[in-house]
């Protein structure tokens, strides 16, 4: 999925995508902590989804400049 991320976009947009990626990662962590993941995934599927969520969260964080970066156009 990270190959679909555009090279240049407004920072506000990248911050929103970062927040969404963080929510997804937090949701997967909650599923793991509560054991509910067993209803939806095999262990291998959960690990794959978690790796993907972490990679995307890190990518969006890098593109947005982190939560305290000044407003600018994000480009990489």
Q: How confident is the model at residue 4 (pLDDT cuts 50, 70, 90)?
A: low
Q: Which two tokens stand for residue 47?
A: 């690990």
pLDDT higher than threshold 90 for residue 12: no
Query: For the chain, what are the domain ranges?
Result: 10-63
Coil/strand/helix, residue 44: helix
C-beta pairs of 67-70 under 8 Å, 24+ apart in sequence = 67/15, 67/18, 69/11
pLDDT in tens, 15-55: 898 999 999 999 999 999 999 999 999 999 999 999 999 99
pTM over 0.75: no
């Amino acid at each position: 999925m990270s190959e679909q991320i555009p090279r240049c976009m407004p920072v506000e947009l990248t911050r929103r995508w970062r927040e969404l990626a963080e929510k997804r990662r937090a949701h997967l962590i909650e599923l793991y902590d509560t054991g509910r993941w067993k209803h939806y995934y095999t262990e291998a599927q959960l690990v794959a989804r978690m790796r993907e969520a972490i990679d995307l969260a890190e990518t969006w964080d890098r593109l947005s400049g982190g939560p305290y970066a000044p407003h600018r156009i994000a480009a990489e």
